[in-house]
Structure 1
Amino acid sequence: MKVLPLLVFAMGVVAWEATAQDAQCVRERAAMVETIRAYARSAAGVLGQQGVSEGVLEVMAQTKRHLFIPERTCSVAYADTPVPIGLGQTISQPYIVALMTQLAEVAPDHTVLEVGTGSGYQAAILARLARKVCTIEIIPQLAETAAKTLRDLAYDNVSVRLGDGYDGWPECGPFDAVVVTAALGELPPPLIEQLKVGGRLVMPVGPGYSTQQLTVVEKIAPGKTTTRAVALVRFVPFTRSQN
């Protein structure tokens, strides 16, 4: 009979710790958004005077990034820096996630392809803005973990596929936007082919583990595109299937 008060006390301590962590995460996430906003103002040449839209910033403020990293630590998750997620991969710094999302110009009725699921965080951001997100990951462990995380967090409009993203996902498209989260020295023709007219491909172009150009390709007519480099970035290399 004397165990019950101790159990209630212990449960109260756990609840208090969880509440304190939630409050810290909210503060850290708000600070992250303000950092993104400041970076966007200084990058007017890339984004124009509008910077990162309030819609994108709101989604960044709502999405629990700490649940997409192994440590699930708020101070780590919301710092404006890449975070290792294992197997030689990283989750991009928040500003780059916001920048790529803004450049993709995602709308509520859009179908979006992401190549390089990683932890699932970029897919989660896109899922709050688009009707449907199809995301491809070549590393089995990451694909499995990301799919579980997205499923547990009720991102029901995201489909995760294991495979080589170079060839895209024709059955899921055509796409209004394609976001590639790994660097390649060329623009993959299949991804451009799967874009709708008016659609955009956003990806880093250049060698892995070096400086690349964050590039935006817009499909202006069947078989016709415009391409522009918007910023210098550093991404992990695009992994291809050996088959």
Structure 2
Amino acid sequence: MMKSSVETMLHQHLMARGVCDRHLLDAMAHVPREQFVPPEFKQYAYDDRPLPIGRGQTISQPYIVATMIELAQITRESIVLDVGTGCGYMAAVIASIAKQVCTLECIPELAEMAARHFESLGIDNIDARRGDGYLGWPDDKLFDAILVSCAPRHVPENLLKQLKPNGRLVLPISHDSPRQILTCYQKTPRGDIEITEHMAVQFVPMV
């Protein structure tokens, strides 16, 4: 791992911008981001920018990954759904914090790539499957947190249904406009949904 680059990411791109969760910072320090990007982009792995991973998809910039995980309030006991596996980096970081991660990817080549990354790093608490994120996880399962790394046109109702009480859905939402907002949907114990908008973002569309 590129030690100086990792330290730059932690101090300049994350901590200096308000990311303070120690478990999250430790996870991002130890998950080798350079192993999740194509060889020609490894030198940029710890820059705070998205990078292409093939099939028109990207790995999100570190600050956005950290912000989404902080908003989701993931703990050691959390069961988490990650929609839009991509290369697997987000799921790998979450797996370092949470009890279990389920992750969905609809593009076969990316699903296979992510599975190889998980195996090479010996990550054993990720259940990775191919599937449609709009439909949610195929099994009868509820989640403490759901993170979506692509921008749907509308909030998938199935994802809201798969939240536990007090669970949080964090995703970029476009509402059929060019502008995307990173938004948190929290389910109350009574089943109501509380919505909080956080920042403008730019993600690839959810397909």
Same fold? TM cut 0.5: yes
Following TM superposition, by how much is the alpha carbon of 1:53 offset from its aligned partner in structure 2, in angstroms? 1.1
The aligned runs of 1:6-85 (5 Å cut-off) are 22=1, 25-34=2-11, 35-40=13-18, 51-71=19-39, 74-85=42-53
What's the TM-score once normalised by structure 2's chain length?
Answer: 0.94
| Distance in 2 of aligned mates of 1:56 and 1:141 | 28
- Identity across aligned pairs (percent)? 42
2:182 equivalent among 205, 214, 217: 214
Secondary structure of 2:101's counterpart equals strand
Q: Deviations over 1:112-159 (max 9, x none)?
A: 001000000000010001110000000000001101111111110001
Secondary structure of 2:153's counterpart equals coil
Of structures 1 and 2, the larger Rg is shown by 1
Q: Which residue type is aligned with residue 114 of structure 1?
A: D
Q: Which residue type is aligned with residue 102 of structure 2?
A: C
Q: Deviations over 1:182-211 (max 9, x none)?
A: 001211111010100011000000068943
Q: Does 1:91 align with 2:59?
A: yes
> Which of the two has greater helix per residue?
1
Structure 1 contact 117–146 (Cα < 8 Å) conserved? yes
Q: Deviations over 1:167-196 (max 9, x none)?
A: 111526210000000001211111010100
Q: Which residue type is aligned with residue 71 of structure 1?
A: P
Following TM superposition, by how much is the alpha carbon of 1:74 offset from its aligned partner in structure 2, in angstroms? 4.3
Of the structure 1 ranges 184-193 and 116-125, higher mean CA displacement relative to structure 2 is found in 184-193
| Distance in 2 of aligned mates of 1:52 and 1:234 | 23
| Distance in 2 of aligned mates of 1:187 and 1:70 | 31
Structure 1 contact 183–208 (Cα < 8 Å) conserved? no
Structure 2 contact 41–51 (Cα < 8 Å) conserved? no
With a CA cutoff of 8 Å and minimum separation of 6, indicate the structure with the bigger relative contact order. 2
Size of the aligned set, in residue pairs, is 206
Q: Which residue type is aligned with residue 52 of structure 1?
A: C
Following TM superposition, by how much is the alpha carbon of 1:55 offset from its aligned partner in structure 2, in angstroms? 1.6
1:114 equivalent among 82, 89, 108: 82
Secondary structure of 1:118's counterpart equals coil
Secondary structure of 1:107's counterpart equals coil
Q: Indicate how the Cα distance of structure 1 residues 118 and 79 shifts in structure 2: closer, same or farther if over 3 A, else same.
A: same
Structure 1 contact 52–98 (Cα < 8 Å) conserved? no
Of the structure 1 ranges 147-156 and 87-96, higher mean CA displacement relative to structure 2 is found in 147-156
Taking only aligned residues, the RMSD between alpha carbons, in angstroms, comes to: 1.6
What's the TM-score once normalised by structure 1's chain length?
Answer: 0.81
Secondary structure of 1:79's counterpart equals coil
